[in-house]
Amino acid sequence: MPPLMVSHATFGPRPEAVPAVDVAGEFETIARLLRPLAHPDYARNLSDDVAVLPSRPGHDLVLTKDALVESVHFLPDDPLDTVAQKLLRVNLSDLAAKGAEPFGYLLACHWSDRCGWPEREAFASGLAADQKTFGIHLLGGDTVVTPGPLSLSATLLGWVPEGTAPRRAGARPGDAVYVTGTIGDGWLGLEAARGRLALAPDRVGALAEHYRRPVPRLEFGKAVRGMVSAMMDISDGLVADARHIAQASGVGLALDLEVVPLSAAAHAWFDIRIDPEAAMERLVTGGDDYELLLTAPERDEAALRREADRLRLRLTRIGRVVAGTGVEARYLGNRLDVGAGGWVHGG
Amino acid sequence: MPPLMVSHATFGPRPEAVPAVDVAGEFETIARLLRPLAHPDYARNLSDDVAVLPSRPGHDLVLTKDALVESVHFLPDDPLDTVAQKLLRVNLSDLAAKGAEPFGYLLACHWSDRCGWPEREAFASGLAADQKTFGIHLLGGDTVVTPGPLSLSATLLGWVPEGTAPRRAGARPGDAVYVTGTIGDGWLGLEAARGRLALAPDRVGALAEHYRRPVPRLEFGKAVRGMVSAMMDISDGLVADARHIAQASGVGLALDLEVVPLSAAAHAWFDIRIDPEAAMERLVTGGDDYELLLTAPERDEAALRREADRLRLRLTRIGRVVAGTGVEARYLGNRLDVGAGGWVHGG
């Protein structure tokens, strides 16, 4: 553990004379790796204490902040370019669920001992790639060293037209429930990345890629924000997040797990399970999917499908909103008991 | 080190069924400790993925993000209510330097093993106290566990009237250089908190308090944002931060260290040094002062002093802006060589 010293490595020039932990490293990290990523107008070239952002009349600013810790949220041997991308994407997924158009982020890097120049360069290259993919820029932040594991947080900012960001709280009895994409690839991807899946290498690779670099559904979120009654991204697992909508909206959600969409790789895994109920439970409670879960009135189904088709995105109706509370998830005639874990047969 | 699991404890309800590290703890932390701190209008009760903020026409949004790591930026035995306050205040100090009115923040807590309920409650009570002091509210964020030391980051948000946030880059030759308050209490406060100062207990207590709970100069920053040519907060030490202004503005700063304002406690320490030059070097390079450093045209001196007097804040003219580069800091006829450390006698 390094000695305690003064080291507020806020983005901004940092002279050699300051008695701080690895300040030269933080200074060079900012100058060489982060400044090229800065927003051209609002980041003050990362040489002030702040970012200054003009208001955008008629729009709301959407803010989200997620943190990742090595060995807790990503694997110690995950390449750092993908860790940077995962950091941005788990946050971008929150913006997607609110129909927001992302434009920038602030970043806090707590570098561990193992983060030398090659690791920091890989991290910055991952940021650069996703800045291009998603049209965002770095606005500011902080870079410090830690005696602990590599830890990261990002605050993502996006705009939506005033009053249009969907809530979790708007689901009404009679609404249909949908998910985008496929479910379970996040959990399977973690298993794949840990070398625990006995599947063909291309399946393992596709799943690990999904775990490391999920795809936030930004375009779909923007397209449907005016049609949905509730929307959120699936980060804790389909069933858990359905409960979040149920709880926030004061309703129940009835899910038919037989129609839950699986990827080809997930099918390859699922089809050789000897206990399909246990396997399905894993897929719908595993988390890290970063698909969108939404509810909408019946009358909007055709419009939702048009937007999904236009974006070539799978959209699956998996249930309905009912009066009551909580989630009733059924599969092969049995009911998943989320609280206790496991299945209530014939329940 | 806990096993790697899916644990995106974004503020928002978190069901028991999700296989995650201490998820119940994070869930209860949000529900019991953080939700009472949430902004009544914009934080969505911490039960959505995001905060949604209306634009404020005619105003710019000022954003800053600083991180603190235990044993790097604060002491392992610092009370956690003061750690929470320091986290907010180092960020509020950045807003002060831009004349911004703070209104809210996002928070990432990476709790270490030692953070049980008493520690988390103390932390939340520190946030609550400073929310009241500074008129701010929690907007959102993330709470996770880490196998490393307690680590924190906050993103602070404030408003300024459009185009009025001072830069570091505006200092012009002929401008005068000022500091608010007193210099060196941050470094002395760290020494005091570590039990290394042989001073009367009330002196030691006052200095440690300054280190743990610095006072951001928000009112003064707002009052003078229209008069200054450059302004920043002093976090890296007076001389280092003067160099930041010199570099950003493309000018030199000539500082007279004989007039640098010291607190009564700092005087008590300084007056018994056998080497005043070495002692002065410590005070002006130590950092963690969180006073404001500003430059302004001569003609604005009376107006600046009026604002300082109104706020009962000490304002000291410590030098002038000159053509050239870097900082020339003189004391007792000698020149402080910042790059090499130490003094150039008769230099």
Shortest CB distance from A4 goes to which of B50, B58, B75? Answer: B75
Shortest distance between the Cα of B67 and any Cα of chain A, in A, equals 6
pTM here is 0.92
Verify whether the Cβ–Cβ distance A236 to B287 is below 8 Å: no
Residues of chain B with C-beta less than 8 angstroms from the C-beta of A233:
49
Question: Class assignment of domain B176-344?
Answer: alpha beta
**Residues B236-242: what's their mean pLDDT?**
95
Decide which of 3.40.800.10, 3.40.50.850, 3.40.50.970, 3.30.1330.10 is the CATH code for B23-161.
3.30.1330.10
pLDDT, tens digit, 9 for 90 and up, residues B66-83: 999 999 899 999 999 999
Check residue A344 and give its pLDDT.
83
What residue ranges of chain B are covered by domains with CATH 3.90.650.10?
A: 176-344
d(CA A294, CA B67): 35
What residue ranges of chain B are covered by domains with CATH 3.30.1330.10?
A: 23-161
Shortest CB distance from B1 goes to which of A2, A16, A71? Answer: A71
How many pairs of residues across A and B have Cβ atoms under 8 Å apart? 331
Q: Kindly tell me if the per-residue pLDDT of B324 is higher than 60.
A: yes
Shortest CB distance from B59 goes to which of A55, A62, A98? Answer: A55
Residue A45: closest C-alpha in chain B? B248
Shortest CB distance from A50 goes to which of B94, B237, B248? Answer: B94
Verify whether the Cβ–Cβ distance A108 to B194 is below 8 Å: no
Residues of chain A with C-beta less than 8 angstroms from the C-beta of B20:
236, 287
Shortest CB distance from A90 goes to which of B8, B194, B287? Answer: B8
**Percent of chain B at pLDDT above 90?**
85
Q: Computed from CA positions of residues A343, B19, A260, A279, in that sequence, does the dihedral angle turn out positive or negative?
A: negative
Interface predicted TM-score of the whole assembly (ipTM), two decimals: 0.90
Confidence of residue B3 (pLDDT cuts 50, 70, 90): very low
Beta-carbon contacts of B165 under 8 Å, excluding residues fewer than 6 positions away, are A50, A52, B60, B62, B98, B99, B100, B225
Identify the residue among B26, B39, B55 best suited for mutation to test binding to A, counting A beta carbons within 10 A and taking the highest: B55
Residues of chain B with C-beta less than 8 angstroms from the C-beta of A67:
108, 110, 142, 144, 153
d(CA A109, CA B290): 22
The label of the residue with tokens 């698909």 reads: A291
Check residue A2 and give its pLDDT.
25
pLDDT, tens digit, 9 for 90 and up, residues B90-107: 999 999 999 999 999 999
Verify whether the Cβ–Cβ distance A13 to B248 is below 8 Å: yes
Structure-token pair, residue A243: 């409960």
Residues of chain B with C-beta less than 8 angstroms from the C-beta of A100:
50
pLDDT tens for the 347 residues of chain A, in order: 222 444 444 453 333 333 344 555 888 899 999 999 999 999 998 988 899 999 999 999 999 999 999 998 999 999 999 999 999 999 999 999 999 999 999 999 999 999 999 999 999 999 999 999 999 999 999 999 999 999 999 999 999 999 999 999 999 999 999 999 999 999 999 999 999 999 999 999 999 999 999 999 999 999 999 999 999 999 999 999 999 999 999 999 999 999 999 999 999 999 999 999 999 999 999 989 999 999 999 999 999 999 999 999 999 999 999 999 999 999 998 998 876 777 888 76
Confidence of residue B5 (pLDDT cuts 50, 70, 90): very low
Range from A17-31, A152-166, B247-261, B317-331 carrying the lowest mean pLDDT: A17-31
